[in-house]
């Protein structure tokens, strides 16, 4: 049995050639390792441990990494782990994750005992990232009708899937009882469900699909399925991506793109009034995440097209919204390739450590995807 197996890692420190920043590579470059999705909790509250996905067994499982001892402990075993969507519980005592697109499981981090808390109905499959509320008592997720679902192993399949209008439902699961309720069900591709922190009545979700095809991406809904509202309507040639809640619940942040415009814009929406504000112009980052109060934001520079030129921004950026400054922390130099039929595994997905001193990200710049910490 592989669960509980301990792997001694040896971190590698270097200085970034462009910025001089201290960068630590945490995992070996010959085995695929990646972090979880950027708004899912991966660090323990004290910042001493983090969870990640690793293919040490030939398939992806979850590991807990003791940053002081540099030891990774295997938490799950067997194939079928969704190693992007998992998260640590609010009290740091459990890992939650979805297995085989069917089972929502909880792993006790002390005993490594595993419990199936909720099982997806036979007619449906679990899709995307499932997100808990602040105290880890409820969770929201998306399920897709099994007859409508197909694996989205590359970006063309992602695009094509949108036009099939799959039947989707936004669900809520009670994490104590495993009881499920459907909040919204539509013949439309839904994604990205996120509880507003410290406000269980407000859930954000998106109309998923290619940026140029969807009607409007970002939506809010009450927990009982009432009061569906559009966060911001697109104007011609405009699109919004990668919305996330500031962890204190104060605002929904997102990125705005305009066709033919070389810049991207960090924006915020007020969850009560739906007033939208442009916070600053930013380099072409793919994913953004903030610190607890939204005063610092980290982003991963990405390939982008302006006119006919293909450009690649290789930097991890940190934006200080109070000071109005931006800083290139280091080069992530990831390839953004689809690897092993996965569209996400080479994406940096950066976020801050709990003390805001480090940024965690994934990159394949030294071979296979690995975890890195860069000092802010």
**What secondary structure, in 3-state letters, does 241-302 show?**
EEEEECCCCCCEEEEEEECCCCCEEEEEECCCCCCEEEEEEECCEEEEEECCCCCEEEEEEC
What's the CA dihedral at 287, 293, 295, 298 to 10 degrees? Answer: -20
The total domain count for the chain is 1
CA distance 335 to 303: 9
- Report the pLDDT value the prediction gives residue 10, as an integer from 0 to 100: 97
Residue 69 or residue 258, greater confidence: 69
Q: What is residue 137's predicted lDDT score, i.e. its pLDDT?
A: 97
Is the pLDDT reported for residue 133 higher than 80?
Answer: yes
344 inside domain: no
63 within some domain? no
C-alpha distances in Å from residue 159, one per residue of 124, 153, 162, 209, 211:
21, 11, 6, 6, 10
Asked whether the predicted pLDDT for residue 309 surpasses 70, the reply is no
Predicted pLDDT at 214: 87
Query: What are 13-24's pLDDT values in tens digits?
Result: 999 999 999 999
Per-residue pLDDT at 1 exceeds 60: no
**163-176 mean pLDDT:** 96
Q: Which residues pair with 124 in a beta bridge?
A: 145
Rg (CA), the chain: 20
Q: What is the rounded average pLDDT of the residues 199-228?
A: 93
Question: What CATH number has the domain bearing residue 196?
Answer: 2.130.10.10
Closest CA to 178 of 117, 269, 257: 117
In a domain, 139, yes or no: yes
| Higher per-residue confidence, 50 vs 307 | 50
Q: 374, exposed or middle or buried, with CB in 10 Å at 0-12, 13-18, 19+?
A: buried
Sequence-distant contacts of 61-64: CB under 8 A, at least 24 apart: 61/2, 62/86, 62/95, 62/97, 62/107, 63/7, 64/95, 64/109
Please write the tens of the pLDDT for every residue from 239-274: 998 899 999 999 999 999 888 887 899 999 999 999
The DSSP 8-state label assigned to residue 136 in this structure reads: S
pLDDT over 80 at 234, yes or no: yes
**Between the ranges 4-13, 252-261, 342-351, where is the mean pLDDT highest?**
4-13
pLDDT mean across residues, the chain: 94
In-domain check, residue 15: no
State what percent of residues in the chain have pLDDT above 70.
98
Instruction: Count, in order, helices (H) and strands (E) of the chain.
Output: 1, 32
Please check the confidence at residue 48 and state whether its pLDDT lies above 90.
yes
Decide if 145 is inside a domain.
yes
Average pLDDT in the 229-241 region? Answer: 91
* CA dist list (Å): 186 to 153, 164, 215, 309, 321: 23, 13, 14, 39, 38
Give a yes or no: residue 38 inside a domain. Answer: no
For residue 307, the model assigns a pLDDT of 56
Strand partners, 319: 297, 326
309-312 and 351-352: which strand pairing? unpaired
Is position 240 within any domain? Answer: yes
Structure tokens at 136: 């880890």
Alpha carbons within 13 angstroms on the beta-carbon side of residue 45 total: 6
Percent of the chain having pLDDT more than 90? 82
What pLDDT does 321 receive?
97
Compute the CA torsion angle 253, 220, 146, 131 (nearest 10 deg). 50
User: Span 102-129, mean pLDDT?
Assistant: 96
Mean pLDDT of 221-250: 94
Would you say residue 126 has pLDDT above 70? yes
Which residues constitute the domain of residue 192? 120-282
pTM of structure = 0.94
The pLDDT assigned to 272 comes to: 95
pLDDT at 154 over 80: no
Q: What pLDDT does 105 receive? A: 97
Q: How are beta strands 229-230 and 238-245 bridged, if at all?
A: unpaired
* Angle (nearest 5°) at CA 98 between 96 and 99: 125
The most confident of 182-186, 263-267, 300-304, by mean pLDDT: 182-186
Q: Given this model, what pLDDT does residue 196 score? A: 98
Interatomic CA distance for residues 31 and 53, integer angstroms: 11
Query: Rounded to whole angstroms, how far apart are CA atoms 201 and 221?
Result: 8
Nearest to 211 by CA among 304, 318, 310, 125: 304
Q: Residue 33 falls within a domain, yes or no?
A: no
Q: What is the pLDDT of residue 253?
A: 98
Asked if residue 212 has pLDDT above 90, the reply is no
Give the pLDDT of residue 86.
97
């Amino acid at each position: 049995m592989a669960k509980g197996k301990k792997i001694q890692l040896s971190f590698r420190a270097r200085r970034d050639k462009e910025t001089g920043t201290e960068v630590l590579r945490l995992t070996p470059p010959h085995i695929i390792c990646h972090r979880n999705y950027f708004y899912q909790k991966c660090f323990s509250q004290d910042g001493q441990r983090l969870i990640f996905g690793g293919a040490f067994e030939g398939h992806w499982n979850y590991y807990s990494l003791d940053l002081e001892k540099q030891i990774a402990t295997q938490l799950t075993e067997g194939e079928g782990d969704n190693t992007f969507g998992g998260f640590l519980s609010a009290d740091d005592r459990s890992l939650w994750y979805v297995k085989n697109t069917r089972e929502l499981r909880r792993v006790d981090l002390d005993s490594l005992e595993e419990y199936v808390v909720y099982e997806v109905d036979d007619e449906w499959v679990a899709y995307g990232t499932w997100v808990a509320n602040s105290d880890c008592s409820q969770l929201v997720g998306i399920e897709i009708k099994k007859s409508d679902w197909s694996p989205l192993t590359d970006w063309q399949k992602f695009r094509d899937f949108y036009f099939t209008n799959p039947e989707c439902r936004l669900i809520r699961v009670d994490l104590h009882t495993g009881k499920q309720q459907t909040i919204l069900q539509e013949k439309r591709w839904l994604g990205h469900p996120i509880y507003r922190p410290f406000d269980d009545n407000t859930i954000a979700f998106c109309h998923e699909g290619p940026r140029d095809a969807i009607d409007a991406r970002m939506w809010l809904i009450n927990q009982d399925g009432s009061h569906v509202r559009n966060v911001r309507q697109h104007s011609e040639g405009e699109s919004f991506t990668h919305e996330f809640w500031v962890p204190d619940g104060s605002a929904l942040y997102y990125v705005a793109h305009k066709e033919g415009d070389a810049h991207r814009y960090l924006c915020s929406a007020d969850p009560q009034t739906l007033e939208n504000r442009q916070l600053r112009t930013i380099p072409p980052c793919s994913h953004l995440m903030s610190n607890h109060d939204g005063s610092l934001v980290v982003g991963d520079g990405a390939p982008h097209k302006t006119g006919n030129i293909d450009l690649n921004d290789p930097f991890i950026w940190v934006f200080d919204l109070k000071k109005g400054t931006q800083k290139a922390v280091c080069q992530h130099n990831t390839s953004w390739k689809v690897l092993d039929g996965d569209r996400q595994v080479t994406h940096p997905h950066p976020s801050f450590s709990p003390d805001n001193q480090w940024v965690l990200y994934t990159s394949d710049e030294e071979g296979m995807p690995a975890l890195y910490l860069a000092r802010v």
